[in-house]
Structure 1
Amino acid sequence: MSGADGVVLVDKTAGMTSHDVVARVRRLAGTRKVGHAGTLDPMATGLLLLGVNRATRLLTYLVGLDKTYRATVRLGQGTVTDDAEGEVTSAPGVRDVEEQALHDAVAGLTGAIEQVPSAVSAIKVDGRRSYARVRAGEEVELAARPVTVHAFEVLATRPATAADGTAVLDVDVEVVCSSGTYVRALARDLGAALGSAGHLTALRRTRVGAFDVAEAASLEAMADGVPMLDTSDVARRVLAARELTEAETAEVRYGRGLAPSGRDGVVAAFAPDGHVVALLTDRGDRARPVLVLDPA
């Protein structure tokens, strides 16, 4: 197993950090060379993509993929972390939220938006993680950044009473968004848009690009072996493909350029037998290798 290369689709359970998952897969796969393509918060469940051995070099091209989440937003309470992990900082409560008002608030958070990330996040402020500054008692104000929420759909609503007696409304949603979007921040901003407060009580990532959580396995199911997607399969799913001749394959394996692909961005180049040889990008009048996965 230690020599195998590939991408592992893990269905993460709640309570584990993404680093915990990486450490476990390192042991299960018998290799230190394991990395992930984007973290999940400890309270979140669902799809985490890991690269093993040479497939770690593909992770750069997986990090930026769009993602889909199922989540529950609790309207009526805000927390320091914008999710259920943090202490409640405001509890204005909600009584009745009209369906149209909820629809309008969700619509206002859909599309290309400027989002202020949650203060308790891994973003660095003057060299220190924002969450470390917040936990040290500092006030942290992060700058808004552009993100895209492709879809924000309300699936169900349920009136409830929080543990402190606050009247709240739990809203089940599905969010399709660009990489870098904080669903916790969407929960916070949805509450604010409705004149109250909001935080996330559940979060599950169901899709990353072309990869679905239905394909993933739990860590417990990997006790007898770690299932991996072949690097060629991953490259074909994520990138535009260019089929090479035997002569072109030989050139690319030595890091040499080819005639241009005529496409924007990075292209996966495949040998005649179907395995990925390199990733190419057009530079001027040549397609140049940016990563040779199968060198001579």
Structure 2
Amino acid sequence: MSVILWNKKYTETLAITLERFRSEHPEYCESNITYAGRLDPMAEGLMILLTDNDVHRKETFLALPKTYEVEFICGVRTDTYDVLGKVVHAQAVSLFEARVQKEIEQLINITEQSYPPYSSKSVQGKPLWQWAREGSLGNVTIPVRDIHITSSTYQGSRIVSAPALQERIVSLLAQVQGDFRQEVITDLWNNYFQNTDGETIRMYKMTITASSGTYMRSLVEYLGNKLGTGATTLHIKRLQIGEYTP
């Protein structure tokens, strides 16, 4: 099979999702397997897997545009731009939904994007996330790449109880395997919720189609800056890669 469409689960690392693929498809247990396009632990959805001789076609699939559904909250920022990060800023929020919709629709005007500090992009032979973990980001220049957003659509919002969202985030953090600073991050999220005014939080949703390599959590960070509130990505789901759908 030249192209394998695979669904990565929410909170899975790429290593874990490949391990699950081999377990569910033992016919590939001895095969060389690669993925054409990464997904963060706090993202789920469509992936393209290539095996054996087809791994050499990886660049062809990497170049395909991708469509995502993204859910986020305003009034809080983390150092990773998603919930798998340390809370670094929080504030009270008073937003008109029309303002959020307008800023989302204007994302199509963005033509370049800096790599997020917690990403695998290599700088001076070391991934950015390692520079960030060492507190040495100030010693390097964060690369910028050209991007093209063909569609940015506001999908509405919903209200959730703050305690329910706290429970959800803490539970998700506990499910992530590997060293992602989960203990200190969990403490910071608990502290955030303990000091949050109000019993409910509004969650916003958008759908984005963009060129390969566009970081959805960076778009949320950008939105938070434009809105003046800060914002954090809660959930990302990849819906489509080029013409490939689940």
Does structure 1 residue 190 correspond to structure 2 residue 223?
yes
Structure 2 unaligned blocks of 5 or more: 167-192
Q: 2-side partners of 1:104 and 1:32: how far apart?
A: 47
Does structure 1 residue 122 correspond to structure 2 residue 155?
no
Structure ranking higher in strand proportion:
1
Retained in 1: the 8 A contact 2:74–2:93? yes
- The amino acid that maps onto 2:10 is A
Q: 1-side partners of 2:71 and 2:78: how far apart?
A: 14
Does structure 1 residue 110 correspond to structure 2 residue 108?
yes
Does structure 1 residue 181 correspond to structure 2 residue 205?
no
Aligned-residue offset at 1:35: 0.8
Aligned-residue offset at 1:84: 0.6
Match of 1:11 in 2: 7
Aligned-residue offset at 1:112: 4.5
Match of 2:232 in 1: 199
- The amino acid that maps onto 1:83 is D
Structure ranking higher in helix proportion:
2
**DSSP-derived class of the 2:111 partner:** strand
Question: Which structure is higher in RCO with an 8 Å CA cutoff and minimum separation 6?
Answer: 2
Normalization by structure 2: what TM-score? Answer: 0.78
**DSSP-derived class of the 2:48 partner:** strand
Retained in 1: the 8 A contact 2:5–2:47? yes
**DSSP-derived class of the 2:102 partner:** helix
Cα 1:116/1:34, change in 2 over 3 Å: same
Does structure 1 residue 212 correspond to structure 2 residue 210?
no
**DSSP-derived class of the 1:93 partner:** coil
Match of 2:156 in 1: 156
Match of 1:53 in 2: 52
String of CA shifts for 1:128-148, please: whole Å, max 9, x gaps. 000011112223552332111
Match of 1:70 in 2: 69
**DSSP-derived class of the 1:55 partner:** helix
Cα 1:112/1:79, change in 2 over 3 Å: closer
Runs of 4+ aligned structure 1 residues displaced above 6 Å come to none
RMSD of the alignment, in Å?
1.9
The size of the alignment, in residue pairs, is 208
Retained in 1: the 8 A contact 2:105–2:154? no
String of CA shifts for 1:63-94, please: whole Å, max 9, x gaps. 11000111101111100100010111111231
**DSSP-derived class of the 1:108 partner:** helix
**DSSP-derived class of the 2:11 partner:** coil
Match of 1:83 in 2: 82
Identity of aligned residues (%): 25
Cα 1:166/1:201, change in 2 over 3 Å: farther
Q: 2-side partners of 1:142 and 1:97: how far apart?
A: 33
